[in-house]
A and B are shown apart, each in its own frame.
Chain A
Amino acid sequence: MVVKVYGPAYASTKRMLVCLIEKEIEFETVPLDLFKGEHKDPEFLELQPFGTVPITQDGDHILFESRAIMRYYAEKYKLLGTDLLGKTIEERGQVENWLEVEAHSYNPPIYTLTLQILYPSKLGFLRDENLIKESEEKLAKVLDVYEEKLSKSKYLAGDFFSLADLSHLPFTQYLVGKMGKEYMIRSRKHVNAWWDDISGRPSWQKVLQLYPAPF
């Protein structure tokens, strides 16, 4: 049975798509147009009452929240493909620590930047320049912490690549690409090396190739 993944074009979905590819798990995708509001259709809300992507359908099992999906597949196929959870309970603890950091400290400002910089042309609203400035400042502070952390270990959870690093790929790709804020990464030596490493992985290159962004 092949896993179905809804909404592959969007950043949150790509976070778990790259995980499936690292784990060499077969999947098929179901396109959704969020700009047409397809995530607010009653059929979709039956599957995901909060109306966000991604969702996965694996036989009878429906799962939502990208970071929950990532954790599930990384654990279920622990022995297949890349190990994304560390080798011990303590290493897993560090993975969880930095995955939570991505979710609570990194994602909010970068998500706001994405909404304010990339969405207006699609949805026809005016950018809030104050909000952009504030979000960039917040993100810069987070990146300073990352710079310090990555001067001590190759990856966020330690010297091993994990879900914590992978989770950063989709929105950071927007940051260095269409948002035109590559300098935020390039100006930080260790963040820069880390970004080149994780974004250069074949799994991520495959996602970029197969699922172009909606912008």
Chain B
Amino acid sequence: MVVKVYGPIMAACPQRVMACLLEKDVEFEIVHVDLEAEEHKTSDFLLRQPFGQVPAIEDGDFKLFESRAIIRYYAAKYEERGPNLLGNSLEGRALVDQWLEVEAHNFNDLVYTLVLQLVVLPRMGKHGDVVLARSCEQKLEKVFDIYEQRLSNATYLAGDSFTLADLSHLPGIRYLVNDAGMGHLVAERKHVNAWWEAISNRSAWKKLMKLVNY
């Protein structure tokens, strides 16, 4: 049974899920959701995801939403297949969850707001709030300073191997570096830069980039 991933292939949160499925070699098909046409606000879609957000998945009878729940589910379900994305012990898993939470609470909203103001709104022909974007950028500098410190002590966020904690950052950092002109946040930090090079050159991520066709 092929997993159905609902959402546009360009959007960060569906990409988080697709990156995980590719790492785990799980077959999936993308069911496009047209955000500009507000398809995510239709009553049909709300039955699938009652908050009107992407992604959602359908795997036979099993349905789930929230990208970080979906990646945890598949990383556990296919623990024996492909790279171990959950750490090698309970304590290792705790660090994966810790840094996933850090990404969710300290990193994600800043990236989302900045990219909305500098990239998405202008693409829609609207004015972005540059002052708000700059404020996000300044806060992100501080977050990346903490990441720099952490990555000077460990190759990946949760320890010695690539896990969901690193994977979860891929779509957002790609937007920052490639679309929002924020490459300096990564390039100016030696360990963050090395980490970004390593994680963005993984074959699963490169496969996804080909699929998206940037």
In the complex, what residues of B have CB within 8 A of residue A89's CB? 73, 76-77
A2 within 8 A of B: no
B214 within 8 A of A: no
B90 within 8 A of A: yes
In the complex, what residues of A have CB within 8 A of residue B95's CB? 63
A84 within 8 A of B: no
**In the complex where A100-B68, A105-B51 touch, is A92 in contact with B76 (Cβ < 8 A)?**
yes
Expressed in whole angstroms, the Cα–Cα distance for A101 and B95 within the complex equals 21
B72 within 8 A of A: yes
B73 touches A101 (CB 8 A): no
B122 within 8 A of A: no
Q: Is the interface of A mostly helix, strand, loop or mixed?
A: helix
A76 within 8 A of B: yes
A62 to chain B, nearest CB (A): 9
Q: Is the interface of B mostly helix, strand, loop or mixed?
A: helix
B39 within 8 A of A: no
Residue of B whose beta carbon sits closest to that of A71: B97
B73 touches A96 (CB 8 A): yes
Category for how many chain A residues contact B: 20 to 34
B contacts with A, residue count (CB < 8 A): 29
B154 within 8 A of A: no
A104 within 8 A of B: yes
A76 touches B69 (CB 8 A): no
In the complex, what residues of B have CB within 8 A of residue A153's CB? none
Residue of B whose beta carbon sits closest to that of A146: B50
B160 to chain A, nearest CB (A): 16
Residue of A whose beta carbon sits closest to that of B50: A145
A93 touches B94 (CB 8 A): no
A90 touches B72 (CB 8 A): no
A68 touches B98 (CB 8 A): yes
Which residue from B51, B65, B72, B90 sits with its C-beta under 8 Å from A76? B90
A61 touches B91 (CB 8 A): yes
Residue of A whose beta carbon sits closest to that of B65: A97
Residue of A whose beta carbon sits closest to that of B108: A104
Interface residues of B, Cβ cutoff 8 Å to A = 50-51, 62, 64-66, 68-70, 72-73, 76-77, 90-91, 93-95, 97-98, 100-102, 104-106, 146, 149-150
20 contacts between A and B (CB under 8 A): A50-B146, A65-B101, A65-B102, A67-B101, A71-B93, A72-B91, A89-B76, A89-B77, A90-B62, A92-B73, A93-B64, A93-B72, A96-B66, A97-B66, A97-B69, A97-B70, A99-B69, A101-B51, A145-B51, A148-B50
